[in-house]
Chains A and B, each alone.
Chain A
Amino acid sequence: MDLGQLLHSLFFDYTVRTVALGTAILGIVSGMLGAFAMLRRQSLLGDAISHAALPGVVLAFMITGLKAPLVLMTGAAVAGVAGVILVIGVSRHTRLKQDAALGIVLAVFFGFGLMLLTFLQQNPDARQAGLNHFLFGQAATLMERDVLVMALFGGAALAVLGLFWKEFKLLSFDREFGATLGFPMSWLEMLLTFLLVIAIVIGLQAVGVVLMSAMIVAPAAAARQWTDRLGLMVGLSGFFGAVAGVTGTAISTLAGGLSTGPVIVLCISAIALISLLFAPRRGVLWTEIRRRRQHAELAMVLKGGRP
């Protein structure tokens, strides 16, 4: 399939269009909410949430026997929330640091999920087939109903984000000031973390639990380099996420059936790398040029010349 054909099928082929739409949605939602996670230094919480979601997916299937996206995503969200509560509870009520709490929740939930998954795989019942796509993601398995649920969840999350925009901004930049103004900061914190869980959950089928955290961190890290304005940063972050999602899916389709998760992650990592190196004013290249110029100017001044 060449590029022309790919573009053609992107717009006119039903399956490809569905998949592209799905990955775009996941990119937008995880990018926009990831921006807040990064500002609040919760980048790695995304890693814990996405791994923690695995047993939720498997248990939801075991209990209901259904693979409907709504069921699996609800299971994933419940497990993700449980993981967050454990991380916060352990790091707040014991002397363990947050990174230990993250590591424990991430690895133990994931191990539990794998155990359940292998437990299911031993019986010949074919209905469980496809659950292991949740490990590394398989965007090609996205169907219209999946994309519909993703759009619904993602849209709702973004609507809430828009509704509480000012409050979340306050929370991210000056929590104490917000508290003195009388805003219920802990509630807002919980709400924002819950939105993050939703952003992760809707991406699991396409990107997988192992790598979904990159979709939270990388678009935000990239967007941060281009602007100092929150609105612009969140928008850019969503845009980068969507571009990576669609491009990654296209590449993995062209390459013939690679798991989409790793490919999408490489796309968003490339965007992040370019941003870190070349973004105007903040980027590494820019900083280096400015440093050189300052050196040269200083040398001029020291020699008695005028800059």
Chain B
Amino acid sequence: MSASLEIQLLAVLVAAACALPGVFLVLRGTAMMADAISHTVLLGIVLVFFVVQDLQSPWLIVGAAAIGLVTVTLTELLQHTRLVKQDAAIGLVFPALFSVAVILISRFARGVHLDVDAVLLGELAFAPFDRLIVLGIDVPRALVTIAVVLIANIAFISLFYKELKLATFDAGLAATLGFAPALLHYGLMALVSITAVGAFDIVGVVLVVALMVTPAAAAYLLTSDLRRMLVLSVAIGVLSALAGYWLARLLNANIAGAMATMTGVIFLVVLVLAPQRGLLAKLVRRRRQQADFAATMLAIHLLHHTGAPTEAEEARIDHLERHLDWQPGYAARVIRHAERLGFIKSIAGHLQLTPTGYAKAQEVLAS
């Protein structure tokens, strides 16, 4: 396999591994906790590294999961003192732990692969150089790590799918049924920590958050079905990964940064164009509701004056502008819309209610 292909495969797997737990983070409103964890796993990595002196040790995963849970616990402890609110608690804990990690790295771990730039940027472009023989196949080491993380994510989510779903949408019911939502919460946070440490080598600590939250958020704007959301989230993540890889190649820039950028671009497109919840769809819907409302108003107005002595006067188009306080252009638009709906007919500057319009006005007045 060529280096380029290997990098793309890595990017795709990282994106998929991050996009899965991201769905639950977005749904449960714990995205910023993931941000905190993705920073603090660095401390776990550094501490374990000082003990085992090996950046490839599986203990790193254990250390990262542990420090992730420490982060969550510390934040919750702080919150339980009621001295600070949750957001401030998160904002207090993770910068402190992350600072310790950065200082430890720059003081004591200089030159041993761990360096501060790599922490932020990841080293996806260099991943193919560090190789490993697995089952007789020569593969990049990072590929093995991230594949394991991806499998762990898939396994956790499929095993506890029902429980996660229940705890996410109705924590109270989950608790009464004996599902221990707190335990699932910690499980999910451990999963986020493991994913963060698996992805950290490849995309760096902050961009893990982009790959977790952004595709899931975009997917949430597209569907309300959990299964479909998981699939869409992975698909958007994978698409961003590939687009990001080629963008980075084009600009000769950092791949992880470009991947994060592409998640943002896709999110923006979805935000504007999503079929039902997109901004454009909302705007169109609101416009149509306004127009429908105005057309109904017009029908009611005409109904009121049907058979009255002033009927001819009231049904004149130019009279509407004064009576209903409509701007000239707006009145014309409403009339066109009402004609299209079949509410009225316009004959020589006079408006006439059709049977449909009559029925509609009656219906509204009766309700």
Which of B91, B216, B253, B261 contacts A108 (CB under 8 A)? B261
Contact (A44, B32) CB under 8 Å given A107-B213, A108-B264, A115-B257: yes
Distance between Cα atoms of A174 and B19 in the complex (Å)? 39
Instruction: Label chain A's interface by main secondary structure.
Output: helix
Q: What sequence of 0s and 1s flags, for each residue 248-286 of chain A, a beta carbon within 8 Å of any chain B beta carbon?
A: 000000010011011101100100100010000011100
- Interface assignment of B146: CB less than 8 Å from any CB of chain A: no
Distance between Cα atoms of A136 and B39 in the complex (Å)? 14
Instruction: Label chain B's interface by main secondary structure.
Output: helix
Contact (A214, B257) CB under 8 Å given A94-B271, A106-B35: no
- Interface assignment of B85: CB less than 8 Å from any CB of chain A: yes
**B260 contacts A43, C-beta separation under 8 Å:** no
- Interface assignment of A79: CB less than 8 Å from any CB of chain B: no
- Interface assignment of B12: CB less than 8 Å from any CB of chain A: no
Report the stretch among B46-54, B99-107, B130-138, B356-364 that lies at the interface: B99-107
Q: What sequence of 0s and 1s flags, for each residue 138-176 of chain A, a beta carbon within 8 Å of any chain B beta carbon?
A: 000000000000000000000000000000000000000
Q: What sequence of 0s and 1s flags, for each residue 98-128 of chain A, a beta carbon within 8 Å of any chain B beta carbon?
A: 0111111011111111111111001000000
**B99 contacts A265, C-beta separation under 8 Å:** yes
Report the stretch among B76-84, B164-172, B318-326 that lies at the interface: B76-84
Distance between Cα atoms of A224 and B84 in the complex (Å)? 9
**A111 contacts B96, C-beta separation under 8 Å:** no
- Interface assignment of A210: CB less than 8 Å from any CB of chain B: yes
Distance between Cα atoms of A15 and B83 in the complex (Å)? 39
Distance between Cα atoms of A211 and B93 in the complex (Å)? 12
- Interface assignment of B251: CB less than 8 Å from any CB of chain A: yes
Contact (A90, B271) CB under 8 Å given A97-B29, A100-B31: yes
- Interface assignment of B30: CB less than 8 Å from any CB of chain A: yes
Distance between Cα atoms of A213 and B29 in the complex (Å)? 20
Distance between Cα atoms of A111 and B85 in the complex (Å)? 29
Least CB separation from A123: chain B residue: B252
- Interface assignment of B193: CB less than 8 Å from any CB of chain A: no
Which residues of chain B come closer than 8 Å to A266, judged between CB atoms?
Answer: 96, 99-100, 103
Distance between Cα atoms of A41 and B106 in the complex (Å)? 33
Contact (A94, B253) CB under 8 Å given A266-B103, A272-B92: no
- Interface assignment of B152: CB less than 8 Å from any CB of chain A: no
Distance between Cα atoms of A287 and B253 in the complex (Å)? 53
**A213 contacts B91, C-beta separation under 8 Å:** yes
Report the stretch among B59-67, B173-181, B204-212, B306-314 that lies at the interface: B204-212
**A106 contacts B253, C-beta separation under 8 Å:** no
- With A102-B32, A103-B32, A103-B214 already in contact, 7 other A-B pairs whose C-beta atoms are closer than 8 Å: A44-B32, A93-B279, A95-B220, A103-B209, A114-B120, A122-B252, A262-B98
Top 9 nearest A-B pairs (CB, nearest first) are: A111-B260, A115-B257, A108-B264, A107-B210, A217-B91, A214-B95, A262-B99, A114-B257, A103-B31
